[in-house]
Structure 1
Amino acid sequence: MLDIFRGLKSLIKISHIHIDSAVFRLHYSLTVILLIAFSLIVTTRQYVGNPIDCIHSKDLPEDVLNTYCWIHSTYTITAAYRKREGLEVPFPGVDNSKSYSETERKEYKYYQWVCFMLFLQAILFYTPRWLWKGWEGGKIHALMMDLDIGLCSEVEKKQKKKMLLDYLWENLRFHNWWAYRYYLCEVLALLNVIGQMFLMNRFFDGAFLTFGIDVLRFLESDQEDRVDPMIYVFPRMTKCTFYKYGVSGEVERHDAVCILPLNVVNEKIYVFLWFWFLFLGVLSFFTVLYRILIIFSPRTRVYLLRMRFRLVRRDAVETIVRRSKVGDWFLLYMLGENLDTVIYRDVMHELANKLASRHHHGVKGELQEA
């Protein structure tokens, strides 16, 4: 298993070039790694040891019964969860099925699909990143020109700064569509988290949306009155019905009690995922609100640039924000995250001077015409 987890190192590639926000990186880096790791854990537990062990009679082969119950699902009796363990029932949810109707059975069919579901979730979490990486097209890396280090010669540094400034000057006010596509990816990340909560709720037959809240309530409730929601969603002991022909040719029914050790792992994984997805969803929701504020409030854009890059003069930031669009602001903010701070300051000051000079000449020309 250690060799498998060492393979995850290839997924953990910390890039020194930032083309997105820290919250967005949580979606496609940490969350994807966690989901793939959980998928590998469940996969190894399924194929190393027995994922299910059923108590059976002597005339039934052990492997046949275990395989049948694993493939064709097991069940519990919902009314038996309230009965006293050790007195009325051997385990919560396990009771004589003949005493109950078919509607009181809760079937469990998900466990062989958990590893695939976790891997699918990892793919869905990486999808917004894949879209943005394609749309971004390496623009930030191309504009950096190794100016993040700042150790090149003065001649080379001056030439690269001029090339960067020329690009910003010639393409000012043409970056809105580029930035909006990134904002769309952040919205997709938020929708993905919300959608995955409902996806898992459907996967677990409507028992996942309130799963974390139910676990907290269970921990705070009285021991005599509580029903463990983790056992209800991920039972450790279930029942299985197996039919076969007897010696006389009649169909015989065999009831087996099955232990599912894999569910001890599953319950911990999904309790963690419930709280992690809730945390990610809240962060992503506020990130989307933050983007909306940035789009409609130039004053906020000035404030954020001033707070993040204190070497740049306030008047330079105000000039740039006033004479550019939100897409230009996003590009400049991302460049500031990657460039050497002194080089970034020089570029911003020169860009502000050019913008102020153009505005001054424009006003002067209008006055002369008048």
Structure 2
Amino acid sequence: MSLSLGALNSVNSLIGKAFKQPKGDFAERLNSRITVGILALCSVLLGSSHFWGDPITCWSPAQFNKQWSDFVNQYCYVHGTYFVRLDQELTHDKEERTKNEINYYQWVPYILAVQALLFYIPRFMWSSLASHSGYDLGGAVRYVDDFWNSIKNNDGAFKNRIASFESRPAVFIWEGLRLARKKAGRELSVYYAASTALQMINAWLQFYWINGFLQSSTYSLWGPNVLVDLLQGEDWMTTGHFPRIVHCDFHHRRPASVQLDTVMCVLHLNIYYEKICIFLWFWLFFVALVSTYNCGSWFLSIMFYRNARSKVRDLLSCTPEGNSAPSKDLFFRVLGKDGLFVLQHMALNLGDIPASYLTAAMRNCCEQFADETEEDEENQYNKRLMSPGPKAV
């Protein structure tokens, strides 16, 4: 029991971690926040019913006392059951009777918890790669967000807010970019594209897994076919999908013999499993499609940078100088692909208004960082020239 409670607490902790992270784009929110939350919540609710409820109730023979009845319930829950339509006779052939075995109901809460963890892994990998690059994008987003929340309700002109952004957030972002470029900061966008590819692969694997897990011999696409069956009035008594009434065989040991008994059991949880699995089938298919589109969009954006430049121009158009400022070309050159990527994520996480203030402030003070960036690049180039080459053997 303590182990099960620990697992439930771990799932709750996973939900908390997922929602403390920056929001990211729409596909990232679907994968690492909404889907993780849905799967973890279902896992907690279904798992709690396993330990504080009666997931299965078996109709024991009249001569069984309470201890035997409790044993039968526990045995059939752990060992598994099988489905035979109520209008069919039970055969004596053991293989024929158990060809429709049902063993999934014990594992569904744990499977959902594992799925929630798998959907969070791409976000964890992205955070790890971002840390490896030397630029803490999540920390930068939180810093600018806190600064914006502290000044957005203050009365002041547009220029005063720009000046406030120039003195703190703009310098913070520029310094972070300059220091990260000494490590691997320029590859930040590539790392993010890799994480979107991992999101896409995970989403499709999870979809194919649940489709195969729930697959029947008559359906190729489980979700739509089961939904059509339900709309046509063909429920579990006909199709055998998530049956409520099942059978269980167990051996009743006596002093001189071993007797095989068969009981009928009610699987209460299958009422909920059916609805949850139908929803998850369509939800995971939707998440997989969105993740595929998002992955392709980011790869194209990183390859050509037209979308990133267009987004930054839109943010600059909100300023009085607009895109006609003389430092615009210099700003894009100093900003680089990593800077464009950071501003894209600022707009995704914080919205266009604070991102426009930040972009304008960074453009206004980009000249001093242009000199520092060129000096850093020259120092790195000289360092590579002075480093000794491989020694001849």
SS of 1:20's partner is: coil
2:117 maps to a residue whose letter is: I
1:259 pairs, out of 246, 255, 266, with: 266
Q: In structure 1, what is the Cα distance between the partners aligned to 2:367 and 2:101?
A: 67
2:70 aligned residue? 63
Please state how far the C-alpha of 1:348 moved relative to its aligned partner. Answer: 3.0
Contact 2:60 2:263 in 1 (8 A): yes
Contact 2:140 2:173 in 1 (8 A): no
1:236 maps to a residue whose letter is: R
SS of 2:197's partner is: helix
Please state how far the C-alpha of 1:307 moved relative to its aligned partner. Answer: 4.6
Q: Does the alignment pair 1:235 with 2:243? A: yes
Deviation readout 1:293-325 (Å, 9 max, x if unpaired): 202223333333345664263467776557765
2:303 aligned residue? 296
Q: In structure 1, what is the Cα distance between the partners aligned to 2:20 and 2:103?
A: 44
Contact 2:190 2:302 in 1 (8 A): no
SS of 1:187's partner is: helix
Deviation readout 1:17-53 (Å, 9 max, x if unpaired): 8473232022222222221211122122222332111
Structure 1 354/132 Cα, relative in aligned 2: closer, same or farther at 3 Å? closer
- Please tell me the root mean square deviation across aligned C-alpha atoms, in Å: 4.0
2:224 maps to a residue whose letter is: I
- Structure 1 unmatched runs, 5+: 81-88, 360-370
Contact 1:56 1:62 in 2 (8 A): yes
Structure 1 39/19 Cα, relative in aligned 2: closer, same or farther at 3 Å? closer
1:116 pairs, out of 102, 106, 110, with: 110
**Greater mean deviation of Cα atoms: 125-134 or 257-266:** 125-134
Q: In structure 2, what is the Cα distance between the partners aligned to 1:106 and 1:228?
A: 13
Alignment of 1:115-194 (within 5 A): 115-137=109-131, 138-142=136-140, 144=143, 147-149=147-149, 151=151, 157-160=165-168, 161-162=170-171, 164-165=173-174, 168=177, 175-194=185-204
Percent identity between matched residues is: 22
1:34 pairs, out of 33, 38, 47, with: 38
Q: In structure 2, what is the Cα distance between the partners aligned to 1:345 and 1:230?
A: 66
Q: In structure 2, what is the Cα distance between the partners aligned to 1:264 and 1:65?
A: 21
Structure 1 97/44 Cα, relative in aligned 2: closer, same or farther at 3 Å? farther
Deviation readout 1:230-266 (Å, 9 max, x if unpaired): 963311111111112346x122121111110111111
Contact 2:18 2:36 in 1 (8 A): no
Alignment of 1:1-370 (within 5 A): 11=15, 18=22, 20-60=24-64, 61-77=68-84, 80=85, 89-90=86-87, 95-98=89-92, 102=96, 105-137=99-131, 138-142=136-140, 144=143, 147-149=147-149, 151=151, 157-160=165-168, 161-162=170-171, 164-165=173-174, 168=177, 175-204=185-214, 210-221=221-232, 223=233, 226=234, 228=236, 232-246=240-254, 249-307=256-314, 310-311=317-318, 313-314=322-323, 325-336=336-347, 337-338=349-350, 339=354, 341-351=356-366
Structure 1 110/251 Cα, relative in aligned 2: closer, same or farther at 3 Å? same
Q: TM-score, normalised by structure 1?
A: 0.75
Q: In structure 2, what is the Cα distance between the partners aligned to 1:202 and 1:255?
A: 30
Structure 1 171/59 Cα, relative in aligned 2: closer, same or farther at 3 Å? closer
Q: In structure 2, what is the Cα distance between the partners aligned to 1:16 and 1:73?
A: 40
Aligned length: 337
Q: In structure 1, what is the Cα distance between the partners aligned to 2:139 and 2:176?
A: 14
Deviation readout 1:99-150 (Å, 9 max, x if unpaired): 7952872111111111111111111111112222233333453484654347
Structure 1 175/320 Cα, relative in aligned 2: closer, same or farther at 3 Å? farther
Q: In structure 1, what is the Cα distance between the partners aligned to 2:361 and 2:122?
A: 34
- Structure 2 unmatched runs, 5+: 1-7, 155-159, 375-393
Q: In structure 2, what is the Cα distance between the partners aligned to 1:102 and 1:69?
A: 18
Contact 2:82 2:98 in 1 (8 A): no
SS of 2:100's partner is: strand
Q: In structure 1, what is the Cα distance between the partners aligned to 2:200 and 2:27?
A: 10
SS of 1:54's partner is: strand
SS of 1:111's partner is: coil
Contact 2:81 2:247 in 1 (8 A): yes
